[in-house]
Amino acid sequence: MSGSPTRLPAWQALQDHHRIAAGFSLRELFARDPRRFDKFSLQCGDILFDYSKHLVTDETLHLLVELAHQCELPGWIARLFTGDKVNTTEGRPALHTVLRAQEPVMLDGQNIVAEVEHMLSRMERFCEEVWSGVRCGSAGRAFSDVVNIGIGGSDLGPMFVTEALASYARPRPRLHFVSNVDGAHLAGVLQGLTPETTLFIVASKTFFTLETLANARSARAWLAAKLGADGAARHFAAVTANPAAAREFGVATDAVFEFWDWVGGRYSLWSAIGLPIALAIGMDNFNALRSGAGEMDLHFRHAPLERNIPVLAGLLGVWYIDFFGAAAHAVLPYDQRLKRLPEYLQQLEMESNGKRVRRDGAEVDYATAPVVFGAAGTNGQHAFYQLLHQGTQLIPADFIACCRSDHQLAGHHALLLANYFAQTEALALGKTTAEAEAEMRRRGMPEIRIAALLPHRVFGGNRPTTSILLPRLEPRALGALIAFYEHKTFAQSVIWGINAFDQWGVELGKQLADRLLPELEGVAPASSHDASTNGLINHFKTHR
């Protein structure tokens, strides 16, 4: 596809269809078709994907799938998996799927799956040395704590997965994550640690990331103050695509783990960036995580579009964003261990698809990525669900839960799931005027009070939700869930004709920060920026 997707026949047919769809009633759709759930739900492995509570019919889905075909999505999926340079602005493939592949994949004449397997074997050996105490600190003591220093994809993925799979974690080492250049973050973590038993992993694709290197240098100074400069070196490992820079920093060669420029940062937790995950939960569980993702890869690559879970999720997002004007998307995990999933998906989706320029360099004339937000249920119910139910904006939402819990507290999981099921039903069906009146009469309210409260007690419903159910939160299922969102994001990028694998907006902020830093450290008043920035910098200098 070249040019704007808005010119495609399927897009224009969807615009016409939307005039009808705007009047859809989910109550009526379910009443007319008792088999709606059976028709509009799918499974991949053990994961159930229910999209029956969406404002769609068979015709809607037919048109959306036709749009995907006209945007050449099947061809782009093939290109993703076979190593074509789908990252067009940087001239690179995006082969994160190779990190969980079983069959050989050739790139520039090399079987890169073999390279991945070599990296995994090095990770396993490193983990075993840390666990056994063979790899220890300069004082000969085993590492009790590991601090991962990174930012973005070098932090969010490992932190999210490590916390989500905490029930699989070994007693030692304890894992900590530092990302913010605000010294309060690093200082707060270091406060509870002992230099002799702390290992730092510096994770940076380029090994030039300003925030990461600032934190790494401060960590090195903290160690050196107690252990000396030579002793501090034994307390570092590094994960990077620039191993020479890591060695120059002082990391021993056998503690440097390389990954490749065909792995994007926000897709990298399956690589050596996942070293903290492996240290926490073990290589068997890390491999199970990869295996679950690989299962979703096969589904995305081979399932027909109309039964392809990531494709359908992506198309439903396009349906709401571009035809209903939905500017936000809520991710609502009903599992406390998944509390960082919305934060992880903010980077995955908003950094990938938050673009206003197509691959061909032309500006889009349609909306792209929504604002992704969310919180763990039931906490979110007492924060922003009011807006989901009765606000003026249409906000589609993903509800995620596990059928079985890993704790033994009686009654808690049933109560949690009761809220999970109730919220999607309430958002879909709402509460009619007649239902609200009858409810208040049953409570014995006087008619005058009923009349006053009635407008506040009516819920319009028709708020679309996707329900995703996992058997339990175990590594394989979590891997499949993460890969599902990766592929959903890519499918949407193809429909919008944008490159999901660059992030020039992030680079701009880094460049400006590098330029500003000397000004902040100097004494001369700032005068080279706009009036607001000059004023703010000079106010800071006066009050620092």
**373: pLDDT strictly greater than 70:** yes
Contact 292, 476 (CB under 8 A): yes
Number of neighbouring beta carbons within 10 Å of residue 261: 15
What positions carry a catalytic annotation? Answer: 351, 382, 510
Residues 323-357 pLDDT 10s: 999 999 999 999 999 999 999 999 999 999 999 99
CATH topology of domain 505-543: Phosphoglucose isomerase, C-terminal domain (1.10.1390)
DSSP code, position 71: T
Count how many Cα atoms sit within 13 Å of the Cα of residue 348 in the half-sphere of its side chain: 25
- Which residue, among 60, 57, 58, 53, has the nearest Cα to 428 in the 3D structure? 53
For the chain, the domains span: 11-82+288-429+463-496, 97-281, 505-543
Q: Per-residue pLDDT tens for 375-388?
A: 999 999 999 999 99
Given this structure, which CATH class describes domain 11-82+288-429+463-496?
alpha beta
Fold of 97-281: Rossmann fold (3.40.50)
For residues 99 and 488, what is the distance between their CA atoms, to the nearest angstrom? Answer: 18
Angle at the Cα of 352 from the Cα atoms of 350 and 353, rounded to 5 degrees: 70
Q: What number of other Cβ atoms are within 10 A of residue 401's Cβ?
A: 22
What residues contact residue 196 under an 8 Å CB cut-off, 6+ apart?
137, 138, 139, 141, 226, 227
Q: pTM, whole model, 2 decimals?
A: 0.96
Query: What is the CB-side half-sphere exposure of residue 365 using CA atoms within 13 A?
Result: 7
Per-residue model confidence as pLDDT tens digits over 427-447? 999 999 999 999 999 999 999
% of the chain exceeding 90 in pLDDT: 93
Q: Which residue has the tokens 């599902």?
A: 484
Question: 1, 45, 50, 38: which is closest to 300 by C-alpha?
Answer: 45
Give CA separation, 240 vs 201, 245, 273, in Å: 10, 9, 8
Angle at 282 between CA 278 and CA 288, to 5 degrees: 85
Q: Of the ranges 14-18, 307-311, 501-505, which one carries the lowest mean pLDDT score?
A: 501-505
Q: Compute the mean pLDDT over every residue in the chain, rounded to the nearest whole number.
A: 96
Instruction: Specify which residues 333 forms β-bridges with.
Output: 400
Q: Which range (35-44, 425-434, 501-510) has the least confidence?
A: 501-510
Specify the residue for token string 């004339």.
Answer: 365
Check if 97-281 and 505-543 are the same fold.
no
pLDDT tens, residue by residue, 220-266 = 999 999 999 999 999 999 999 999 999 999 999 999 999 999 999 99
The predicted structure's pLDDT at residue 1: 67
Residue bearing the bigger pLDDT, 522 or 280: 280
